[in-house]
Amino acid sequence: MGRVPHRTPELDLASAARLDTAVVLSRLGSGVAGLTSAEAARRLDLVGPNAVRTHRVRAPAILFRQVRNPLLLLLLAAATVALVVGDRNDAIIIVAIVTLSVGLGFVNEYRSEQAVEALHSKIRHRVSVVREGRILELDVVDVVPGDVVHLRVGDVVPADLRLLEANGLACDESVLTGESVPVAKSTDPVRGEPSTHELGSCALMGTVVRAGAGAGVVVGTGSATEFGRIALRLGDRPSETAFQAGLRDFSRLLVGVAGVLTVAIFVINVALRRPLIDALLFSLAIAIGLTPQLLPAIVTVSLSTGTRALARRKVVVKRLVAIEDLANIDLLFTDKTGTLTEGAVAFAAALDAEGRPSDQVLRLGLVCTDVVVQDGRVVEGSPLDRALWEPVSERGVLVGSARLLDLVPFDHERRMMTGLVEDDGRRFVITKGAPEAIFQRCDRLPTTAEEVFRRAFDAGSRVVAVAQREVPADQASVSPADERDLELVGLLSFVDPPKADAGRSLARLAALGIAVKVVTGDNERVARAVAEELGLAVGATLTGSQLDRMSNEQLEAALPGTGIFARVDPEQKSRIIRVAQGSGADVAFLGDGANDAIALHDADVGISVDSATDVAKAGCGHRPA
């Protein structure tokens, strides 16, 4: 393995994606046999455990948020003045009111924080790591940069990895990007400056292996990962909400009015030759009388009542102040995947090249597949093929005697998969994949094909083209070289169906005068189709690349007429939120993935669901009261 430097070698993910695997291993001071146990222990001491920020209930922090209320500070000043001038009864009453207000707010928020912490049950899992040439099962927190990790279907990627092996590997990155379709991976270095969407030679922490297998060397752990950077952003202190700004302005107004009146009354009394002490006491009494002593308690009790009402509907409120902002919301941004939709791909239709329903197209798609069926259910396979094979019993009958003899798995360069199929004594090469890639390998296309595919795309479907070619009966294997001279058979379309109650919820929001806009990392056509199906007023569509070319002023001008923001990353979601707030809107954001966490954190009100990721839940209600 060679001599390992004393300090832990460093290599950022973008650089690792562009380098050959041998160079990456060398720079990380590692090798295919992994690290030694001693070196791994040393690195763990240097970089710390492989964990990102998690939710913790901190009583002092909650108490501090209560006493930071400017109106409470004004009341405490009034109590101090009352005590100085000898009015002990007023001082005691004011202090009691302040104590009641702070106590109520503390108890309610502390209970809410405890409930949220219970929701944040840590997912601790073990991962296969190569150490000293042996494969060990280690806790994910013990993984360090330079470790070689093995991946298989169903694994959660434990850290940011530069892939060393990739055998049909595909990762679901929707937790980071919002895209519902898994991303195919390879060991080939990427060219240029890769973005998060283009790291095909890397596997990112928090993503899920949906197909194939592979191995990679750890480039970053914990907060040094793409996932971790999102979590760290949640620790940034956000700007105040609309309600907090209003309360601050009201308190300043009270202080100003009280100050002006106190000085004016004091001057008038002195001018009228009243005793100096009497004039001062009278002025201070006026100032104390102007202070609305019960207002903080009334506000806290009202907000607490709101939290209890929401709790009866199984809604956890992390910050009391969010109740007021929730009532004032006039603009809601919502994620699509897993929020408006089920977050799971479902088979929609099989059509021939002329747009007619076709069992033959479906049959060919079922045979050319990577699924593993066990005990009447699909246990392995890509999401598209798994969706295609439901229900298993009916699909098995449709396949009949057709047999898959050999398979070339899908990869991101070919964007297709090919199988050698035997059916009724004849053998066929069956290829399915991205329509544009399949079209290039067909010797001719039916005149209606492009229109049929265009209609499917416009409907927001994920479209897979299916083609075939008969081969000699003695052919025993298939390779990419066989993907030629194909005959287009038809298409398979898939959808991520909207949630059953999403349409009703959007209609109720519209009736309340709340504008709803979709902000997603997914394709604009898919987002538009889902929005239209749910009855949402779509308007214009802006993509992430278009946003990058716009100034904040241009974006603010475009906001009212734009209903969908597509192909946007977490930072762009955050920018949209901040620009909307700058225009004077009270903004809420609804999301469930780690890619939504920053926007949830920056919005006036962040709303998530019980099935959301821990990082997304941490982003909700993150503003100080």
Catalytic residues: 335
Same domain for 489 and 381:
yes
CATH number for 604: 3.40.50.1000
Q: Which two tokens stand for residue 385?
A: 């093929």
Statement to judge: residues 17 and 160 lie in one domain: yes
The three-state DSSP-derived secondary structure of 83-112 is: HHCCCHHHHHHHHHHHHHHHHHHHHHHHHH
Instruction: Provide the pLDDT for residue 414.
Output: 73
Q: Is residue 571 part of a domain?
A: yes
* The pLDDT value given to residue 199: 79
pTM of the predicted model as reported, rounded to 2 decimal places: 0.53
Alpha helices (H) in 150-275, listed in sequence order = 174-177, 226-233, 242-271
Based on the domain organization, do 376 and 457 belong to the same domain? yes
Residue 341 DSSP one-character state: B
Does residue 273 share a domain with residue 406? no
Q: Split the chain (625 residues) into runs of 10 and give each run's mean pLDDT.
A: 51 86 91 90 88 63 67 71 73 78 70 55 68 86 91 81 87 72 83 63 85 86 80 54 62 71 79 73 63 58 68 67 77 85 84 93 92 74 83 88 87 79 93 90 90 84 91 92 94 86 89 91 78 87 90 93 87 89 88 71 76 52 40
Which pLDDT belongs to residue 333?
93
| pLDDT the model gives residue 122 | 41
Instruction: State the Cα–Cα distance between residues 336 and 29, nearest whole angstrom.
Output: 42
Cβ(219)–Cβ(233) under 8 Å?
A: no
Query: Tokens 């907090």 sit at which residue?
Result: 244
Given 233, 259, 285, the domain boundary residue is 233
Q: In terms of domains, do 389 and 430 share one?
A: yes
- Segments forming the whole domain that contains residue 586: 308-341+499-619
Q: How many angstroms from the chain centroid is the CA of residue 441?
A: 37
Residue 545 contacts residue 567 (beta carbons within 8 Å): yes
Helix segments in 426-551, DSSP class H: 435-440, 449-458, 502-511, 524-533, 544-548
- Please confirm whether the linkage preceding 189 is cis (ω < 30° from 0): no
Tell which residue, 208, 202, 207, 177, has the closest CA to residue 189: 202
How many CB atoms are closer than 10 A to CB 229? 15
Report if residue 555 sits inside a domain: yes
- Phi and psi dihedrals of 160, rounded to 5? -75, 125
How many domains does the chain divide into? 4
Please tell me the predicted confidence (pLDDT) of residue 561: 93
Would you say residue 91 lies in a domain? yes
Of 461, 495, 529, the residue that ends a domain is 495
Those residues with Cβ within 8 angstroms of residue 128's Cβ, 6 or more apart along the chain or in another chain: 135, 136, 137, 149, 150, 152
pLDDT of residue 1: 39
> Do 107 and 245 have their domain in common?
yes
> Based on the domain organization, do 439 and 568 belong to the same domain?
no
For residues 283 and 411, membership in a common domain is answered with: no
